[in-house]
Chains A and B, each alone.
Chain A
Amino acid sequence: GAGVSQSPRYKVAKRGQDVALRCDPISGHVSLFWYQQALGQGPEFLTYFQNEAQLDKSGLPSDRFFAERPEGSVSTLKIQRTQQEDSAVYLCASSLFRGLLTGELFFGEGSRLTVL
């Protein structure tokens, strides 16, 4: 597709449920990032993939968060046993180049997760 696509756009989960959020990056983009944006805040980094390799997961807030990109294209962010503090918009971004030294970052519209 022409841009980064995320699904679902909205997800309501009961506390304790597992959720999976999908990201389709721009075709051919090497780098893929996940960010978490709480209400009224700037996005905060979660994890980075270069092709299928997860090179940086330093931003994942707990071991309940897991991300994968098995074929170097589509990525899934999984949150196990959701808690209310997980409520946020989860943004996916991709870039043609490796890392952040060059090139723009293209963001999807995000998946808004509400945990009741």
Chain B
Amino acid sequence: KQEVTQIPAALSVPEGENLVLNCSFTDSAIYNLQWFRQDPGKGLTSLLLIQSSQREQTSGRLNASLDKSSGRSTLYIAASQPGDSATYLCAVSDNQAGTALIFGKGTTLSVSS
């Protein structure tokens, strides 16, 4: 059964720092991987979607990489801002899970000004 783990669970950084959030998954046979952002009391906003055939995706200050063979993905945030403070969730879809996305528990990021 696919399991998704995110490290660290929480992270605090000063404004301007570059940072990396980690996601690992136990079964490398995935179709795609998505990174989401969740603000307190809100739903999820999709940040980046990486298909299994892709190595990385970029959107503004965000860059997500995917290494299927090792079961890892990283989300790189450049020049962090207080507005980046949120919980970041990683999720994978695979054949075994069918139509379900399997989520990690998230990394809660706090960026101080």
CB atoms of B100 and A59 under 8 A apart: yes
Cβ of B101: which chain A residues have Cβ within 8 Å of it? Answer: 33, 35, 43, 45, 100, 105
| Residue A65 CB within 8 A of the other chain | no
CB atoms of A42 and B100 under 8 A apart: no
| Residue A40 CB within 8 A of the other chain | yes
Of B13-21, B44-52, B66-74, B77-85, the one with at least 4 CB within 8 A of chain A: B44-52
CB atoms of A42 and B106 under 8 A apart: yes
CB atoms of A110 and B104 under 8 A apart: no
What number of A residues sit within 8 Å (CB to CB) of B?
Answer: 31
| Chain A interface mostly | loop
Contacting B43 at CB < 8 Å: which of A4, A41, A99, A103?
A4
| Residue A68 CB within 8 A of the other chain | no
Interface size range on B against A: 20 to 34
Contacting B103 at CB < 8 Å: which of A43, A104, A110?
A43
Given contacts A100-B32, A101-B32, A105-B34, contact A42 B103 (CB under 8 A): yes
CB atoms of B31 and A101 under 8 A apart: yes
| Residue A55 CB within 8 A of the other chain | yes
Cβ of B51: which chain A residues have Cβ within 8 Å of it? Answer: 102
Cβ of A99: which chain B residues have Cβ within 8 Å of it? Answer: 99
CB atoms of B43 and A110 under 8 A apart: yes
| Residue B75 CB within 8 A of the other chain | no
Proximity string of chain B (28-58) to chain A, C-beta cutoff 8 Å, 1 when within and 0 when not: 0001101010000111111001010000000
Residues of B participating in the A interface, judged by any CB pair closer than 8 Å: 4, 31-32, 34, 36, 41-46, 49, 51, 89, 91, 93, 97-106
Residues of A participating in the B interface, judged by any CB pair closer than 8 Å: 4, 6, 31, 33, 35, 40-45, 48, 55-56, 58-59, 91, 93, 99-110, 112
